[in-house]
């Protein structure tokens, strides 16, 4: 019986630890998702030479070719998994002369852009709030000696640089960011959009599926899933989840086997006692119920013990082996599932031993042990 | 109240079939004390378990109190054992981890009686077999004779009309064996039907009727001695009025 409790506890502990770590990793990824920015990129289909923006293909060689429009951007919000989209950040890019030098101008929706790029820090000045406000990349500000509060003129339109971004080593350092609508006017491309960055928050569904959905509503666009660290991690978590389920299934099968053999052994060992019960007038049903009750109690104990041990393992192991910063959640559903599963497995695996016990002949009580 | 009609039993468990009983016909009336005697392997235990509703005969019928025992379903046979039979095993079969009281209560475990009543009855029956004050001892803390009494108490506690005992003195020395025999005789004196297996003639002398078995057949059936037949039906159990087992000089003091 001790073996049974320990065996079940080990099985349940393994399953619980794996599940809890997976759960923690999913929570972790969901948090990091926000910090890592976009994981889907929407650009116009173009056959020209590709130009890149921060390692991301922007479109054709000429910045002027923009075949996406604002209604296209709205359409992204209509896909089936729209609920999993956290940010849609459209951009219009264009080369403009600024203080006599060619500069890359990016029209963005600041609210969305700031949510997408959590790593952005406005080092000097403040975040833009007005339509004519602009943010300057660190190197751009340095080379053109732009200070927060300065006014700049782009294609005859005036912008007020309200803040300078901290240098982050990306192409953003060289860009002048202005409001999307203002950029459309300045570049004389009303309604045009060069690319859309999308942050999808979906730990359960594959990003590929959302990519396909967006491609479906925007047939003229090329939609790519960005293989960022977080996407990979998400896939790893997904794989770990499936691995956890598979291992749990194996462990449960082994647990069932342990219960089966232990209970069969216990029944064989107690044949004489069971025979006595039968001779005393216990029905087969009574004997079966005694065995199953015992199995249920022992299994529930094993399940509870296993849950505690598994959670203990998860709490200590998750930060070390899985590099999870999120706390391992004490999930009452997992607790109930662990005890319930142990109970069901224990009782089911004891059905045959219980039947064996019920079949014990009362006359075995007569035999000398 | 117990009738065996043409009862035969053949064991088939592995190897050649063993004929344990052949065409046994036997009638035992209510209140009788019958000793089944015969050499080892003659079929005594088989006969006893067949009477007790726990061993299906290969042929023949067993009627107890008008019930054709082996026509009942297995579960109803269990009920029959509970309602009609108390069994004292040769190995006693007390559970070593239970106290005397708990061992007795085991026989009431499936009864619908309230627990307090069961406990009261167990105490009462233990007092009746002379174990007052020893209810909470484990079997290992009791003498052989006392263990035998616990086994008898367990067989009696469900107030079954038939008490079956398979060599109840087999594992006891003569003196303690005699205590158990006296207990059975006292119970019989109070009206309890007792069927006891023994191969000891002196033990058999305690019974009022001796049935001899040889090779699975009844070969002798001694009629009750007249003085025993005249014994009063109801007596206070703890103070036996009948001289123990036909010979007063062998009485163990
Ligand atoms: N369960 C059994 N399986 C096979 N043979 C048995 C079984 N029980 C008893 N026997 C055989 O039946 C015969 C009668 O046994 P039993 O009734 O125990 O005799 P007794 O009690 O008089 O010694 C013996 O030959 C014994 O070996
Ligand atoms: Mg025998």
Among B7, B12, B20, B217, the mutation site with the greatest number of ligand 1 atoms within 8 A of its Cβ is B20
Query: What are the residue ranges spanned by the domains of chain A?
Result: 2-28+233-367, 39-49+60-225
Q: b vs e for B113-141, b when ≥16 Cβ sit within 10 Å of the residue's Cβ?
A: eeeeebbebbeebbebbbbeebbebebee
Start-to-end CA span in chain B (Å): 35
Confidence label for B249 from pLDDT (cuts 50, 70 and 90): very low
pLDDT of residue A7: 84
- Ligand 1, atom 2, lies closest to the CA of B11
pLDDT of residue A49: 46
> Is the CB of B41 within 6 Å of ligand 1?
yes
A328 secondary structure, DSSP code: P
pLDDT of residue A98: 87
Contacts of A279 in chain B (CB under 8 A): 52, 54, 81, 87, 89
Tokens found for residue A138: 């660190």
The SS3 of residue A40 is: strand
Q: From the CA of A242, how far away is ligand 2's center (Å)?
A: 61
Q: What is the ipTM of this complex?
A: 0.87
Structure-token match 């069994």, residue found:
B87
Establish if A51 touches chain B: CB-CB under 8 angstroms.
Answer: no
CA atoms of A150 and A130, how far apart (whole Å): 15
More confident residue, A28 or B128: B128
| φ and ψ of A251, to 5 deg | -60, -40
Confidence label for A44 from pLDDT (cuts 50, 70 and 90): confident
Q: What is the overall mean pLDDT for chain B?
A: 86
How close A347 comes to chain B (CA, Å)? 22
Residue A290's nearest CA partner among B119, B76, B110 is B110
CA atoms of A357 and A272, how far apart (whole Å): 10
Closest atom of ligand 1 to CA, residue B199: 22
Burial of A265 (0-12, 13-18, 19+ CB in 10 A): middle
Mean pLDDT of the region A270-299: 93
Three-state SS annotation for chain B = CEEEEEEEEEECCCCCCEEEEEEEEEEECCCCEEEEECCCCCCHHHHHHHHCCCCCCCEEEEEECCEEHHHCCHHHHHHHHHHHEEEECCCCCCCCCCCHHHHHHHCCCCCCCCHHHHHHHHHHHHHHCCCCCCCCCCHHHCCHHHHHHHHHHHHHCCCCCEEEEECCCCCCCHHHHHHHHHHHHHHHHCCCEEEEEECCHHHHCCCCEEEEEECCEEEEEECCCHHHHCCCCCCCCCCCCCCHHHCHHHCCC
Q: Which residues contact B136 (CB under 8 A, 6 or more apart)?
A: B99, B100, B101
A29 contacts A233 by C-beta, under 8 angstroms: yes
pLDDT of residue B241: 40
CA atoms of B1 and B191, how far apart (whole Å): 13
pLDDT tops 90 at residue A45: no
pLDDT tops 90 at residue A288: yes
A2-16, B40-54, B69-83, B104-118: least confident range: A2-16
Confidence label for B232 from pLDDT (cuts 50, 70 and 90): very low
Establish if B120 touches chain A: CB-CB under 8 angstroms.
Answer: no
CA atoms of A289 and A357, how far apart (whole Å): 10
Centre a 10 Å sphere on the Cβ of residue A166 and count the other Cβ atoms it contains.
15
- Ligand 1, atom 26, lies closest to the CA of B41
Q: B2-247 architecture in CATH?
A: 3-Layer(aba) Sandwich (3.40)
Indicate yes or no: CB of B49 within 8 angstroms of CB of A363.
yes
CA atoms of A199 and A219, how far apart (whole Å): 20
Which of A 283-312 lie inside 8 A of B, CB atoms?
283-286
CA atoms of A99 and A153, how far apart (whole Å): 8
pLDDT tops 50 at residue B171: yes
More confident residue, A33 or B15: B15
Indicate yes or no: CB of B78 within 8 angstroms of CB of A368.
no
Q: From the CA of B69, how far away is ligand 2's center (Å)?
A: 22
Of B55, B82, B166, Cβ closest to residue A280: B82
Indicate yes or no: CB of A281 within 8 angstroms of CB of B83.
yes
Most distant CA atoms of chain A, gap in Å: 111
Mean pLDDT of the region A163-178: 89
Q: What is the overall mean pLDDT for chain A?
A: 84
A155-159, A308-312, B238-242: least confident range: B238-242
How close A286 comes to chain B (CA, Å)? 8
> Is the CB of B43 within 6 Å of ligand 1?
yes
A176-180, A184-188, A314-318, B22-26: least confident range: A314-318
More confident residue, B62 or B175: B62
**How far is Cα of residue A34 from the mean position of the Cα atoms in its chain?**
11
The SS3 of residue A268 is: helix
List of E strands, chain A: 40-44, 51-53, 56-59, 68-69, 85-98, 101-108, 122-125, 133-136, 151-154, 157-165, 175-179, 192-193, 195-200, 221-225
Measure the CA dihedral B52/B25/B45/A278, to 10°: -20
Confidence label for B28 from pLDDT (cuts 50, 70 and 90): very high
> Is the CB of B89 within 6 Å of ligand 1?
no
> Is the CB of B49 within 6 Å of ligand 1?
no
B131 contacts B150 by C-beta, under 8 angstroms: yes
Q: Give me the residues paired with residue A88 across strands.
A: A198
Contacts of B150 in chain A (CB under 8 A): none
E strand or H helix at A10, and its extent? helix A2-36
Confidence label for B237 from pLDDT (cuts 50, 70 and 90): very low
| φ and ψ of A135, to 5 deg | -115, 135
pLDDT tops 70 at residue A107: yes
CA atoms of A68 and A88, how far apart (whole Å): 14
pLDDT tens digit sequence for B172-194: 788 888 888 888 998 999 899 99
Confidence label for A65 from pLDDT (cuts 50, 70 and 90): low
CA atoms of A44 and A59, how far apart (whole Å): 6
Confidence label for B251 from pLDDT (cuts 50, 70 and 90): very low
pLDDT tops 50 at residue B240: no
The SS3 of residue A322 is: coil
């Amino acid at each position: 019986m001790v073996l049974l409790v320990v065996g079940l506890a080990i099985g349940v502990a393994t399953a619980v630890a794996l599940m809890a770590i997976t759960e923690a990793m999913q929570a972790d990824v969901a948090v990091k998702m926000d910090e890592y920015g976009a994981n889907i990129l929407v650009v116009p289909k173009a056959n020209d030479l590709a130009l890149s923006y921060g390692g991301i293909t922007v479109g054709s060689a000429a910045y002027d070719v923009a075949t996406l429009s604002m209604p296209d951007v709205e359409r992204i919000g209509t896909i089936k998994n729209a609920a999993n989209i956290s940010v849609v950040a459209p951009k219009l890019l264009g080369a403009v002369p600024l203080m006599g030098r060619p500069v890359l101008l990016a029209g963005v929706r600041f609210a969305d852009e700031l949510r997408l790029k959590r790593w952005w820090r406005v080092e000097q000045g403040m975040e833009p709030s007005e339509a004519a406000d602009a943010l300057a990349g660190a190197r751009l500000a340095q080379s053109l000696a732009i200070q927060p509060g300065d006014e700049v003129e782009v294609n005859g339109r005036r912008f007020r640089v309200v803040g300078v971004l901290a240098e982050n080593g990306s192409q953003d350092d060289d860009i002048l960011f202005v409001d999307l609508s203002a950029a459309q006017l300045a570049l004389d491309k009303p309604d045009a959009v060069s690319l859309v960055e999308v942050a999808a928050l979906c730990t359960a569904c594959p990003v590929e599926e959302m990519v396909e959905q967006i491609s479906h509503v925007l047939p003229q666009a090329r939609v790519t899933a960005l293989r960022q660290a977080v996407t990979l991690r998400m896939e790893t978590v997904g794989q770990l989840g499936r691995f956890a389920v598979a291992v749990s299934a194996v462990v449960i099968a082994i647990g069932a086997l342990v219960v089966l053999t232990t209970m069969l052994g216990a029944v064989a060992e107690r044949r004489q006692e069971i025979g006595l019960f039968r001779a005393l007038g216990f029905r087969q049903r009574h004997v079966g119920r005694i065995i199953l009750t015992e199995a249920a109690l022992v299994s529930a104990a094993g399940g509870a013990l296993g849950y505690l041990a598994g959670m203990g393992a998860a709490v200590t192991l998750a930060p070390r082996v899985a590099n999870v910063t999120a706390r391992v959640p004490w999930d009452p559903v997992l607790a109930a599932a662990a005890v319930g599963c142990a109970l069901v497995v224990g009782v089911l695996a004891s059905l045959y031993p219980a039947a064996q016990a019920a079949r014990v002949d009362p006359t075995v009580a007569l035999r000398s042990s | 109240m117990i009738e065996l009609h043409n009862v035969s039993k053949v064991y088939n468990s592995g190897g050649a079939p063993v004929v344990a009983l052949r065409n046994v016909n036997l009638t035992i009336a209510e209140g009788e004390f019958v000793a089944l005697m015969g050499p080892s392997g003659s079929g005594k235990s088989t006969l006893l378990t067949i009477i007790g509703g726990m061993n299906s005969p290969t042929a023949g019928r067993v009627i107890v109190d008008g019930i054709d025992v082996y026509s009942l379903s297995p579960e109803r046979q269990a009920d029959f054992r509970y309602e009609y039979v108390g069994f004292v095993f040769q190995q006693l079969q007390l559970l070593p981890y239970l106290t005397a009281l708990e061992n007795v209560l085991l026989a009431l475990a499936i009864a619908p009686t309230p627990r307090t009543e069961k406990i009261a009855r167990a105490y009462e029956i233990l007092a009746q077999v002379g174990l007052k004050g020893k209810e909470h001892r484990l079997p290992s803390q009791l003498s052989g004779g006392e263990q035998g009494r616990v086994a008898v108490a367990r067989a009696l506690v469900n107030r079954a009309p038939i008490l079956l005992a398979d060599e109840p003195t087999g594992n006891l020395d003569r003196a303690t064996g005699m205590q158990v025999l006296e207990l059975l005789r006292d119970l019989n004196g109070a009206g309890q039907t007792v069927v006891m297996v023994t191969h000891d003639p002196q033990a058999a002398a305690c019974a009022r009727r001796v049935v001899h078995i040889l090779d699975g057949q009844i070969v002798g059936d001694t009629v009750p001695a007249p003085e025993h037949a005249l014994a009063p039906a109801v007596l206070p159990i703890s103070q036996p009025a009948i001289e123990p087992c036909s010979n007063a000089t062998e009485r163990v003091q």
